[in-house]
């Protein structure tokens, strides 16, 4: 019988804690959402930032023809391996964020970094016009009109940039424009580490 | 009556089938069986641009490219697993609308089981408490009072 008494004495407290449960759940969920929103603001959290399936794997082989009139050779898988890390950049003239990232690619080129370009699903004359207007940062430049090489790289869209180490292994992928922050906080340290 | 009505509605919904994004006959395989296979494969692949649609449902450019690749490979005689694997190695686990069971996805797959087990435990606990809350026997004092109220007769 004394068991019963203890049970009924514990009951009001239990009931009250049950009432508080939804409040606690809402509180935890709210804190989580707030952290996500803050992360999206500062760039620490990207809901689309699924890591590439190719990280740590050899860069897929391909051969792409040069862009006529750009005075740069085309790109093959062999061009990605060598004595220094390279950046492989997918771009298109119809892509607005590509305009945003272009100055950063020009900076990299001026600093002597090997930036290789792939024009993705773009008319050759449009790609050419884009590079004439904004400058050509690419040491080599391939044309991928059907977008098949892009799919071999698991591309989501343009712009997208890959860092490939001298052994031909993909070390980093950025889906989106290379901002000045991405350049200084991610690319520059990575280039130093993989050189 | 309402049950029959809802069953009829359900039957219609199931019979009508979903609307596919592949409306362009040029993108479909001439062989109906192969096209059906390609659709079954595509329905399990996420469109990476829109993320919550399969490549069969999406109008995105990338989804169309992947639909074409799936159809090319089906027509070339590859098995369903080989075609899925082609996309999986390039786009990772996230491209599979039904993620594989492994350590990282254990919680994802285990949540329904955990929720069911938790619910059953909760129900058991509540039942037990209800039994425990059954009215206690009368104390000697209460028996005496009841006897008095009953007017000297045996209660």
Tell me the nearest-neighbour CA distance from B19 into chain A, angstroms.
24
Closest residue of A to B47, CA-based?
A: A156
Q: Which of A7, A48, A148 has its CB closest to that of B133?
A: A7
Q: Which of B49, B90, B137 has its CB closest to that of A152?
A: B90
**According to the 3-state scheme, what is the secondary structure of B30-65?**
CCHHHHHHHHHHHHCEECCCCCCCECCCCCCHHHHH
Closest residue of A to B134, CA-based?
A: A4
B 94-153 near A (Cβ less than 8 A): 94, 129, 132-133, 136-137
Element (H, E) at A173: strand A170-175
Show the tokens assigned to A51.
């890591």
What is the model's pLDDT at position B7? 59
Q: Cβ distance A23 to A30 under 8 Å?
A: no
Show the tokens assigned to B16.
């009508």
**B89 interfacial to chain A (CB closer than 8 Å):** yes
Q: How far is CA A56 from the centre of its chain?
A: 15
CA distance B141 to A52: 78
Catalogue the E-assigned strands of A92-158. 114-120, 140-144
End-to-end alpha-carbon separation of chain B, Å? 53
Q: Do B90 and A153 touch (CB under 8 A)?
A: yes
Top-level class of domain B2-100: mainly alpha
Nearest to A50 by CA among B147, B129, B123, B94: B94
Tens-level pLDDT at each residue, chain A (195 residues): 444 444 445 567 777 777 888 899 999 999 999 998 888 777 677 766 678 889 999 999 999 999 999 999 999 999 999 899 999 999 999 999 999 999 999 999 999 999 999 999 999 999 999 999 999 999 999 999 999 999 999 998 899 999 999 999 999 999 999 999 999 999 999 999 988
Show the tokens assigned to A25.
């759940």
Q: Domain ranges in chain B?
A: 2-100, 104-149
């Amino acid at each position: 019988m004394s068991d019963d008494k203890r049970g009924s004495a514990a009951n009001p407290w239990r009931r009250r804690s049950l009432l508080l449960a939804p409040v606690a759940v809402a509180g935890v969920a709210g804190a989580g959402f707030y952290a996500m929103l803050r992360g999206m603001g500062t760039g620490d959290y990207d809901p689309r930032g699924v890591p590439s399936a190719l990280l740590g794997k050899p860069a897929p082989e391909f051969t792409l023809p040069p862009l006529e009139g750009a005075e740069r050779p085309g790109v093959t898988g062999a061009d990605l391996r060598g004595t220094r890390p390279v950046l492989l950049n997918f771009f298109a003239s119809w892509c607005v964020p590509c305009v945003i990232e272009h100055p950063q690619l020009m900076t990299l080129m001026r600093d002597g970094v090997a930036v290789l370009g792939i024009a993705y699903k773009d008319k050759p004359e449009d790609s050419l016009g884009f590079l004439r207007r904004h400058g050509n940062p690419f040491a080599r430049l391939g044309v991928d009109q059907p977008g098949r090489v892009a799919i071999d790289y698991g591309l989501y869209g343009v712009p997208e940039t890959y860092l490939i180490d001298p052994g031909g292994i993909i070390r980093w992928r950025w889906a989106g424009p290379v901002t000045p922050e991405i350049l200084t906080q991610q690319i520059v340290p990575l280039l130093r580490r993989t050189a | 009556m309402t049950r029959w009505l809802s069953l009829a509605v359900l039957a219609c919904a199931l019979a009508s089938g979903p609307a596919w994004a592949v409306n362009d006959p040029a993108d479909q395989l001439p062989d109906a069986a192969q096209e059906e296979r390609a659709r079954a494969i595509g329905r399990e692949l996420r469109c990476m641009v829109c993320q919550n649609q399969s490549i069969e449902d999406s109008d995105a450019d990338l989804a169309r490219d992947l639909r074409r690749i799936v159809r090319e490979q089906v027509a070339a005689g590859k098995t369903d697993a080989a075609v899925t694997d082609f996309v999986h190695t390039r786009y990772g686990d996230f491209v599979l609308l039904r993620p594989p069971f492994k350590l990282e996805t254990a919680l994802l797959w285990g949540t329904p089981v955990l929720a069911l087990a938790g619910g059953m435990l909760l129900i058991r606990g509540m039942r037990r408490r209800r039994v425990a809350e059954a009215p206690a026997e009368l104390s000697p004092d209460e028996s005496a009072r009841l006897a008095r109220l009953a007017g000297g007769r045996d209660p």
